[in-house]
Amino acid sequence: MDLKLYLSRKKKIIDDFLGNYITSKKKNKDCPAKLAEAMGYALLAGGKRVRPILAIAAFEAAGGRSKGIVPVAASLELIHTYSLIHDDLPAMDDDDFRRNKPTTHKVFGEGTAILAGDALLTDAFNIISKTKTDPAILIKVVSELSHGAGPDGMVGGQTVDLMLEGTKAGKKDLLYIHTHKTGALIRASIRIGAIMAGCSPAALRALTGYGDKIGLAFQIADDILDITGTKEEMGKTTGADDARGKNTYPSTFGLEESQKMAEKLVNDSLKAIQYLDKKAEPLAEIARYIIARRN
Protein backbone atom coordinates (compact mmCIF):
# COMPACT_ATOMS: atom_id res chain seq x y z
CA MET A 1 0.00 0.00 0.00
CA ASP A 2 0.95 3.65 -0.44
CA LEU A 3 1.44 4.71 3.19
CA LYS A 4 2.24 8.31 2.27
CA LEU A 5 -1.09 8.64 0.45
CA TYR A 6 -2.98 6.91 3.27
CA LEU A 7 -1.49 9.20 5.92
CA SER A 8 -2.13 12.27 3.77
CA ARG A 9 -5.81 11.41 3.26
CA LYS A 10 -6.48 10.62 6.91
CA LYS A 11 -4.56 13.69 8.06
CA LYS A 12 -6.73 15.89 5.84
CA ILE A 13 -9.89 14.43 7.36
CA ILE A 14 -8.63 15.21 10.86
CA ASP A 15 -7.25 18.63 9.91
CA ASP A 16 -10.58 19.61 8.33
CA PHE A 17 -12.43 18.63 11.50
CA LEU A 18 -9.98 20.51 13.72
CA GLY A 19 -10.13 23.58 11.51
CA ASN A 20 -13.91 23.66 11.75
CA TYR A 21 -13.69 23.12 15.49
CA ILE A 22 -11.42 26.13 15.99
CA THR A 23 -13.58 28.26 13.69
CA SER A 24 -16.59 27.43 15.86
CA LYS A 25 -14.63 28.40 18.99
CA LYS A 26 -13.68 31.76 17.48
CA LYS A 27 -17.35 32.42 16.65
CA ASN A 28 -18.54 31.39 20.11
CA LYS A 29 -19.07 34.56 22.15
CA ASP A 30 -18.71 32.61 25.39
CA CYS A 31 -15.12 31.63 24.49
CA PRO A 32 -12.66 34.56 24.95
CA ALA A 33 -11.05 35.50 21.64
CA LYS A 34 -7.51 35.26 23.04
CA LEU A 35 -8.19 31.76 24.38
CA ALA A 36 -9.63 30.58 21.05
CA GLU A 37 -6.61 32.05 19.26
CA ALA A 38 -4.16 30.27 21.56
CA MET A 39 -6.02 26.98 21.20
CA GLY A 40 -5.95 27.31 17.42
CA TYR A 41 -2.29 28.32 17.39
CA ALA A 42 -1.27 25.11 19.13
CA LEU A 43 -3.80 22.76 17.55
CA LEU A 44 -3.31 23.86 13.94
CA ALA A 45 0.47 24.32 14.09
CA GLY A 46 1.06 21.14 12.11
CA GLY A 47 1.91 17.66 13.32
CA LYS A 48 1.46 14.22 11.84
CA ARG A 49 -1.83 13.43 13.65
CA VAL A 50 -0.42 10.02 14.57
CA ARG A 51 -2.92 9.24 17.34
CA PRO A 52 -6.09 10.09 15.38
CA ILE A 53 -4.80 8.18 12.36
CA LEU A 54 -3.98 5.15 14.50
CA ALA A 55 -7.53 5.26 15.90
CA ILE A 56 -8.98 5.35 12.38
CA ALA A 57 -6.68 2.58 11.17
CA ALA A 58 -7.61 0.38 14.15
CA PHE A 59 -11.29 1.15 13.54
CA GLU A 60 -10.95 0.02 9.92
CA ALA A 61 -8.88 -3.05 10.87
CA ALA A 62 -11.67 -4.07 13.27
CA GLY A 63 -14.28 -3.77 10.52
CA GLY A 64 -15.62 -0.29 11.25
CA ARG A 65 -17.10 1.68 8.36
CA SER A 66 -19.04 4.67 9.69
CA LYS A 67 -17.80 8.27 9.87
CA GLY A 68 -18.57 8.38 13.59
CA ILE A 69 -14.93 7.63 14.34
CA VAL A 70 -13.77 11.03 13.02
CA PRO A 71 -14.88 13.27 15.96
CA VAL A 72 -13.58 10.73 18.47
CA ALA A 73 -10.27 10.37 16.61
CA ALA A 74 -9.92 14.17 16.40
CA SER A 75 -10.51 14.48 20.15
CA LEU A 76 -7.28 12.51 20.64
CA GLU A 77 -5.38 15.33 18.95
CA LEU A 78 -6.87 17.83 21.40
CA ILE A 79 -5.58 15.69 24.27
CA HIS A 80 -2.16 15.31 22.65
CA THR A 81 -1.89 19.05 21.92
CA TYR A 82 -2.83 19.99 25.47
CA SER A 83 -0.06 17.72 26.74
CA LEU A 84 2.47 19.37 24.42
CA ILE A 85 1.48 22.88 25.53
CA HIS A 86 1.96 21.92 29.17
CA ASP A 87 5.15 19.92 28.55
CA ASP A 88 6.75 22.94 26.88
CA LEU A 89 6.18 25.22 29.89
CA PRO A 90 9.16 26.46 31.93
CA ALA A 91 7.99 24.39 34.90
CA MET A 92 8.19 21.24 32.77
CA ASP A 93 10.52 20.85 29.76
CA ASP A 94 11.01 24.58 29.16
CA ASP A 95 11.04 24.41 25.35
CA ASP A 96 11.02 27.50 23.13
CA PHE A 97 10.05 25.78 19.87
CA ARG A 98 7.50 23.20 18.80
CA ARG A 99 6.92 22.16 15.18
CA ASN A 100 9.39 24.85 14.10
CA LYS A 101 7.31 27.59 15.70
CA PRO A 102 7.62 29.41 19.03
CA THR A 103 5.83 27.43 21.74
CA THR A 104 2.40 28.58 22.88
CA HIS A 105 3.60 30.15 26.12
CA LYS A 106 6.23 32.13 24.23
CA VAL A 107 3.53 33.71 22.07
CA PHE A 108 0.61 34.07 24.49
CA GLY A 109 2.23 33.96 27.92
CA GLU A 110 2.31 31.14 30.45
CA GLY A 111 -1.11 31.78 31.96
CA THR A 112 -2.97 31.72 28.64
CA ALA A 113 -0.96 28.70 27.49
CA ILE A 114 -1.97 26.75 30.59
CA LEU A 115 -5.60 27.68 30.08
CA ALA A 116 -5.47 26.80 26.36
CA GLY A 117 -4.23 23.35 27.35
CA ASP A 118 -6.97 23.04 29.97
CA ALA A 119 -9.57 24.07 27.40
CA LEU A 120 -8.43 21.52 24.83
CA LEU A 121 -8.38 18.74 27.42
CA THR A 122 -11.91 19.37 28.63
CA ASP A 123 -13.37 20.06 25.19
CA ALA A 124 -12.06 16.71 23.91
CA PHE A 125 -14.65 15.01 26.10
CA ASN A 126 -17.32 17.47 24.95
CA ILE A 127 -16.65 16.42 21.35
CA ILE A 128 -16.92 12.75 22.26
CA SER A 129 -20.20 13.30 24.12
CA LYS A 130 -21.78 14.79 20.98
CA THR A 131 -20.69 11.97 18.67
CA LYS A 132 -23.62 10.14 17.09
CA THR A 133 -23.14 6.53 18.12
CA ASP A 134 -24.28 4.08 20.79
CA PRO A 135 -23.98 5.87 24.18
CA ALA A 136 -22.73 2.64 25.77
CA ILE A 137 -19.79 2.65 23.35
CA LEU A 138 -19.06 6.31 24.08
CA ILE A 139 -18.91 5.55 27.81
CA LYS A 140 -16.28 2.90 27.07
CA VAL A 141 -14.38 5.41 24.93
CA VAL A 142 -14.42 8.04 27.69
CA SER A 143 -13.21 5.45 30.21
CA GLU A 144 -10.41 4.34 27.89
CA LEU A 145 -9.29 7.87 27.11
CA SER A 146 -9.39 9.14 30.69
CA HIS A 147 -7.34 6.13 31.79
CA GLY A 148 -4.76 6.53 29.01
CA ALA A 149 -4.40 10.29 29.46
CA GLY A 150 -4.80 10.57 33.23
CA PRO A 151 -2.86 9.76 36.41
CA ASP A 152 -2.67 6.05 35.55
CA GLY A 153 -1.38 6.84 32.07
CA MET A 154 0.21 9.86 30.39
CA VAL A 155 0.11 12.21 33.39
CA GLY A 156 1.53 9.52 35.65
CA GLY A 157 4.39 8.89 33.24
CA GLN A 158 5.16 12.58 32.94
CA THR A 159 5.17 12.89 36.72
CA VAL A 160 7.75 10.14 37.21
CA ASP A 161 9.81 11.54 34.33
CA LEU A 162 9.88 14.91 36.10
CA MET A 163 10.61 13.37 39.52
CA LEU A 164 13.59 11.39 38.24
CA GLU A 165 15.07 14.14 36.08
CA GLY A 166 18.77 14.50 36.87
CA THR A 167 18.96 11.08 38.52
CA LYS A 168 19.82 7.67 37.09
CA ALA A 169 16.57 5.74 36.77
CA GLY A 170 16.50 1.97 36.92
CA LYS A 171 15.25 -0.06 33.98
CA LYS A 172 11.89 -0.62 35.67
CA ASP A 173 11.33 3.13 36.16
CA LEU A 174 12.46 3.88 32.60
CA LEU A 175 9.97 1.35 31.24
CA TYR A 176 7.23 2.89 33.37
CA ILE A 177 8.00 6.40 32.11
CA HIS A 178 7.99 5.41 28.45
CA THR A 179 4.95 3.13 28.52
CA HIS A 180 2.93 5.76 30.37
CA LYS A 181 4.16 9.16 29.20
CA THR A 182 3.84 8.27 25.51
CA GLY A 183 2.70 4.67 25.19
CA ALA A 184 -0.53 4.95 27.17
CA LEU A 185 -2.24 7.46 24.85
CA ILE A 186 -1.10 5.60 21.74
CA ARG A 187 -2.44 2.34 23.20
CA ALA A 188 -5.70 4.09 24.11
CA SER A 189 -6.01 5.53 20.59
CA ILE A 190 -5.84 2.07 19.06
CA ARG A 191 -8.19 0.51 21.58
CA ILE A 192 -10.67 3.38 21.11
CA GLY A 193 -10.71 2.74 17.35
CA ALA A 194 -11.41 -0.94 17.98
CA ILE A 195 -14.10 -0.17 20.58
CA MET A 196 -15.82 2.26 18.19
CA ALA A 197 -15.96 -0.54 15.61
CA GLY A 198 -17.63 -2.90 18.09
CA CYS A 199 -14.93 -5.48 17.48
CA SER A 200 -14.66 -8.96 18.94
CA PRO A 201 -12.71 -9.61 22.15
CA ALA A 202 -10.07 -11.46 20.10
CA ALA A 203 -9.56 -8.49 17.78
CA LEU A 204 -9.38 -6.10 20.74
CA ARG A 205 -6.70 -8.26 22.36
CA ALA A 206 -4.69 -8.35 19.13
CA LEU A 207 -4.93 -4.60 18.61
CA THR A 208 -4.09 -3.95 22.27
CA GLY A 209 -0.94 -6.06 21.90
CA TYR A 210 -0.04 -4.05 18.82
CA GLY A 211 -0.65 -0.79 20.70
CA ASP A 212 1.48 -1.83 23.66
CA LYS A 213 4.45 -2.55 21.39
CA ILE A 214 4.32 0.47 19.09
CA GLY A 215 3.63 2.86 21.95
CA LEU A 216 6.99 1.98 23.50
CA ALA A 217 8.72 1.79 20.11
CA PHE A 218 7.50 5.29 19.27
CA GLN A 219 9.05 6.81 22.40
CA ILE A 220 12.33 4.94 21.96
CA ALA A 221 12.47 6.25 18.38
CA ASP A 222 11.85 9.77 19.71
CA ASP A 223 14.70 9.34 22.19
CA ILE A 224 17.00 8.31 19.34
CA LEU A 225 15.90 11.21 17.14
CA ASP A 226 16.61 13.68 19.95
CA ILE A 227 20.24 12.67 19.50
CA THR A 228 20.51 11.96 15.77
CA GLY A 229 17.93 14.39 14.34
CA THR A 230 18.27 18.07 13.47
CA LYS A 231 16.24 21.01 14.78
CA GLU A 232 14.58 21.36 11.37
CA GLU A 233 13.61 17.68 11.26
CA MET A 234 12.31 17.59 14.82
CA GLY A 235 10.69 21.04 14.85
CA LYS A 236 12.30 21.78 18.22
CA THR A 237 15.73 21.98 19.84
CA THR A 238 17.49 18.61 19.81
CA GLY A 239 19.77 17.25 22.50
CA ALA A 240 17.48 18.69 25.17
CA ASP A 241 16.89 15.34 26.88
CA ASP A 242 20.58 14.86 27.56
CA ALA A 243 21.01 18.49 28.66
CA ARG A 244 18.26 18.13 31.27
CA GLY A 245 19.46 14.76 32.52
CA LYS A 246 16.37 13.00 31.19
CA ASN A 247 16.19 9.23 31.46
CA THR A 248 16.05 7.82 27.94
CA TYR A 249 16.73 4.48 26.29
CA PRO A 250 19.93 5.71 24.56
CA SER A 251 21.27 7.12 27.84
CA THR A 252 20.64 3.76 29.51
CA PHE A 253 21.28 1.20 26.76
CA GLY A 254 23.16 3.15 24.07
CA LEU A 255 22.01 4.10 20.56
CA GLU A 256 22.65 0.77 18.84
CA GLU A 257 20.92 -1.34 21.49
CA SER A 258 17.99 1.10 21.65
CA GLN A 259 17.53 0.82 17.88
CA LYS A 260 17.49 -2.98 18.17
CA MET A 261 14.87 -2.77 20.93
CA ALA A 262 12.64 -0.53 18.82
CA GLU A 263 12.95 -2.88 15.85
CA LYS A 264 12.03 -5.90 17.98
CA LEU A 265 9.00 -4.09 19.38
CA VAL A 266 7.82 -3.27 15.85
CA ASN A 267 8.29 -6.88 14.73
CA ASP A 268 6.32 -8.08 17.76
CA SER A 269 3.56 -5.57 16.97
CA LEU A 270 3.26 -7.01 13.46
CA LYS A 271 2.91 -10.53 14.86
CA ALA A 272 0.10 -9.35 17.15
CA ILE A 273 -2.11 -8.28 14.23
CA GLN A 274 -1.08 -10.75 11.55
CA TYR A 275 -4.38 -12.68 11.72
CA LEU A 276 -6.31 -9.51 10.80
CA ASP A 277 -4.79 -9.78 7.31
CA LYS A 278 -5.14 -6.93 4.79
CA LYS A 279 -7.48 -4.85 6.94
CA ALA A 280 -4.55 -4.24 9.27
CA GLU A 281 -2.08 -3.35 6.50
CA PRO A 282 -2.14 0.39 7.33
CA LEU A 283 -1.32 -0.41 10.96
CA ALA A 284 1.55 -2.64 9.86
CA GLU A 285 2.97 0.06 7.61
CA ILE A 286 2.64 2.70 10.33
CA ALA A 287 4.57 0.42 12.70
CA ARG A 288 7.40 0.11 10.17
CA TYR A 289 7.33 3.86 9.61
CA ILE A 290 7.89 4.55 13.32
CA ILE A 291 11.48 3.30 13.27
CA ALA A 292 12.23 4.59 9.76
CA ARG A 293 11.05 8.17 10.28
CA ARG A 294 13.30 11.18 10.55
CA ASN A 295 10.85 13.46 12.42
Q: What confidence score (pLDDT) does residue 290 get?
A: 87
Mean pLDDT confidence for 144-161: 97
Asked if pLDDT for residue 199 goes beyond 60, the answer is: yes
Check pLDDT > 70 for residue 234: no
Percent of the chain with pLDDT over 90: 82
Residues 10-18, mean pLDDT to the nearest whole number: 98
Average pLDDT across the chain, whole number: 93
Average pLDDT over residues 232-239: 60
SS3 of 197-263 = CCCCHHHHHHHHHHHHHHHHHHHHHHHHHHHHCCHHHHCCCCCHHHHHCCCCHHHHHCHHHHHHHHH
Nearest to 74 by CA among 135, 139, 126: 126
Question: Which sign, positive or negative, has the C-alpha torsion 270, 272, 277, 278?
Answer: negative
Among 47-51, 105-109, 276-280, which stretch is predicted with the lowest mean pLDDT? Answer: 276-280
For range 266-290, the mean pLDDT: 94
pLDDT number for residue 169: 87
In CATH, what is the architecture of 3-292?
Answer: Orthogonal Bundle (1.10)
Comparing 99 with 200, which gets the higher pLDDT?
Answer: 200
* Contacts with 172 (C-beta within 8 Å, 6 or more apart), sequence order: none
Output the pTM of the full model: 0.93
**What does the domain layout of the chain look like in residue ranges?**
3-292
First vs last C-alpha separation in the chain? 21
What are the tens digits of pLDDT across the range 15-31? 999 999 999 999 999 99
Q: How far is CA 81 from CA 78, 88, 99, in A?
A: 5, 11, 12
Of 2-11, 117-126, 237-246, 278-287, the least confident:
237-246
pLDDT for residue 1: 85
Contact residues for 225 (Cβ-Cβ < 8 A; gap 6+): 233, 234, 238, 293, 294, 295
